[in-house]
């Protein structure tokens, strides 16, 4: 039987790397993205590796269209793994010194938070009914600490982590696993748009291998790299005044740009 994996945000970044990692004989990939040219290139590459691929240009903020497509793909072949990888970030989400506009903050939450819910919800009930499946939510280290470079982005990812935790506990007895992925810097077009240091940056391929291993092991959380995992865990024990001073000094003016996941 084919293994069916759904990935949103597959036209770039971690989503693309995961699609290419899983591509091979015996695998059906259902991929969405916002960039037609990039998505088509991913499809060609995955098909060349022997995978069966279906794709669609869908914005994850379009709840109805996305739900219809996800349900149709699950009807064709039961989905084994759904990866909510679509999101906006990088220079696109960096606010001016006076803070994010309501429009920018709204777009960030609509994509990064509600987009995850829009991806997971249509398939979760079906997985629970079958008592099998894996839900994978791509968050960010930024969601574990409020960064001055991106307050709304950090909050949108924090919400995703809490959503995954609650979801995991909700379906704990159903046979469905929920993995919250919390990466640090990954070398993608999104992170490369930032004019700042990217400590302990991993390649997208390395990140995809680590995430795939976490999915296979049904890990609750997949946090990498280790130095940033330790640093974000220890920040809870640092006085807020000191933490504010350190992070405030680390704030950097970042060049404008746009990343297209």
Active site residue: 69, 153, 163, 224, which one?
Answer: 153
The whole-angstrom separation of Cα 249 and Cα 101 is 23
Q: What average pLDDT does the segment 78-91 reach?
A: 95
The mean per-residue pLDDT over the stretch 61-86 comes to 98
* Of residues 129 and 228, more confidently modeled: 129
Q: Is 163 a catalytic residue?
A: no
Work out the average pLDDT over 128-142.
96
DSSP 77: S
Listed by start position, the domains of the chain span: 3-250
**Class for domain 3-250, per CATH?**
alpha beta
Give the per-residue pLDDT at 7: 98
Alpha carbon of 246 to those of 230, 234, 237: distances in Å? 17, 14, 14
Write down the mean pLDDT value for the chain: 90
């Amino acid at each position: 039987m084919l293994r069916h994996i759904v990935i949103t945000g597959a036209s770039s970044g971690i989503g693309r790397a995961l699609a290419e990692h899983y591509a091979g004989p015996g695998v059906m990939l259902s991929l969405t993205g916002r960039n037609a040219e990039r998505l088509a290139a991913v499809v060609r590459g995955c098909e060349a590796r022997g995978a069966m691929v279906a794709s669609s240009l869908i914005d994850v903020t379009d709840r109805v269209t996305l739900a219809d497509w996800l349900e149709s793909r699950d009807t064709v072949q039961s989905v084994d793994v759904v990866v909510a990888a679509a999101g906006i970030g990088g220079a696109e989400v960096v606010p001016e010194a006076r803070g994010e506009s309501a429009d920018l903050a709204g777009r960030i939450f609509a994509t990064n938070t509600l987009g995850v819910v829009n991806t997971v919800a249509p398939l979760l009930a079906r997985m629970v009914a079958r008592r099998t499946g894996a839900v994978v939510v791509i968050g960010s280290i930024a969601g574990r600490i409020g960064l001055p470079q991106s307050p709304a982005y950090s909050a949108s990812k924090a919400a995703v982590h809490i959503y995954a935790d609650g979801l995991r506990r909700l379906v704990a007895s159903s046979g469905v696993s929920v993995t919250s992925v919390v990466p640090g810097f990954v070398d993608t077009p999104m992170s490369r748009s930032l004019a700042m240091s990217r400590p302990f940056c991993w390649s997208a391929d390395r990140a995809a291998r680590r995430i795939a291993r976490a999915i296979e092991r049904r890990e609750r959380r997949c946090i990498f790299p280790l130095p940033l995992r330790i640093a974000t865990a220890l920040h809870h024990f640092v006085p807020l005044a000191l933490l504010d001073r350190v992070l405030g000094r680390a704030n950097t003016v970042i060049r404008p740009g746009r990343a297209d996941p």
